[in-house]
Amino acid sequence: MAVALPTLAMLALNTALAGVVPPFLTYFPAVTLAALFLGPAWGTAVLVCSAGLANYLFIPPLFAWSVSSDNVLVTGLYLFAGGLIVVTAATLRTSVRELEAKSALERDLNAELQHRVKNNLAVVQALARQTVASTPEPDQFYSAFRGRLIALSEAHDVLVSGKWTGCRLPELVDAAVRPFRSEGVFAIEGPNCELPAQSCVPLVMALHELSTNAVKYGALSTPAGHVSVRWEVAGGGFRLTWREAFGPPVKKPKRVGLGSRLLTRQSGLDDVALQFLPEGVVCEIAISGAVEQT
């Protein structure tokens, strides 16, 4: 279509204007549109095909491919000009796609930021409620609450930086849940191991999301609540199980929020299985490429 329509237009113009129309006039828009909307490969294909057709149909001698110096020069100039159009259109196409991708990323980041701000406020309130229940004395409360806020800040530093030096367990798990820990609330158990670099931040974010939800709605929202985090390594496969108990009755959320994306299969997490059991939330996370250390 990109070659046929300009060719028909050239035939009509030559008939109406007695052959005084430049032979490549109608092909330039076709090359531009093909390169913009279909890509540089299609733009180049339209350019080459139209050059051959125009040489055959509209450059004397008609209905023959001429290799005279004049025809080769005219066709060569068309190919050069058309090539510049293809390159320019391809650059513009890439720029538009990058701009669209950045706009989409900005929208996602703004939505994620709103989610994180709301979560942080809820977490701080829950931590204050949890801390005052166990340390009613003002001085003790201040010291304990301040420590938890510092731990929360350190956990966020890991998330924002996107880096984890060493990426070893149990250190990684401890950093993720440290703001929410108190005596007897968490049971953390598993062999020393090292995870692939691409799995570290997704796992920290998943554990932080589980802890946040547990503080807001689950086992960590009540003094009697308990969370166990256990993992095992076998044949290079890593499986971590998060299990809540002795909290309020659990109901599966009706609405899937932005935080739920952190608890799904993604790059770095081979599998994530989340269960909303009546007795407590259970989440299993599988990662390949783990190395157990002695």
Domain count, the chain: 2
Higher pLDDT, 17 or 201: 201
244-287 pLDDT per residue, tens: 999 898 888 776 655 577 788 988 899 999 999 988 999 999 99
Whether residues 280 and 154 share a domain: the answer is: yes
Rounded-to-integer distance, Cα 124 and Cα 122, Å: 6
What is the pLDDT at residue 233? 94
Q: Average pLDDT for residues 233-238, to the nearest whole number?
A: 91
Q: Assess if residue 263 is contained within a domain.
A: yes
168 DSSP assignment? E
Give the containing element (helix H, strand E) for 72.
helix 69-134
21-53 pLDDT per residue, tens: 677 888 888 888 888 888 889 888 888 888 888
Higher pLDDT, 165 or 112: 112
| Structural domain harbouring 22 | 4-99
Q: Assess if residue 111 is contained within a domain.
A: no
28-42, 53-67, 116-130, 215-229: the lowest-pLDDT one: 116-130
Sheet order of strands, 168-169 included: 168-169, 193-194, 291-292
What is the pLDDT at residue 114? 75
Whether residues 231 and 170 share a domain: the answer is: yes
Alpha carbon separation from 53 to 4, 26, 27, 78, 226 (Å, rounded): 10, 12, 10, 12, 77
Q: Give the predicted TM-score (pTM) of the model.
A: 0.54
Q: Assess if residue 104 is contained within a domain.
A: no
Whether residues 175 and 285 share a domain: the answer is: yes
**Pairing relation of β-strands 280-288 and 237-245?**
antiparallel
Sheet order of strands, 226-234 included: 186-189, 226-234, 237-245, 280-288, 271-277
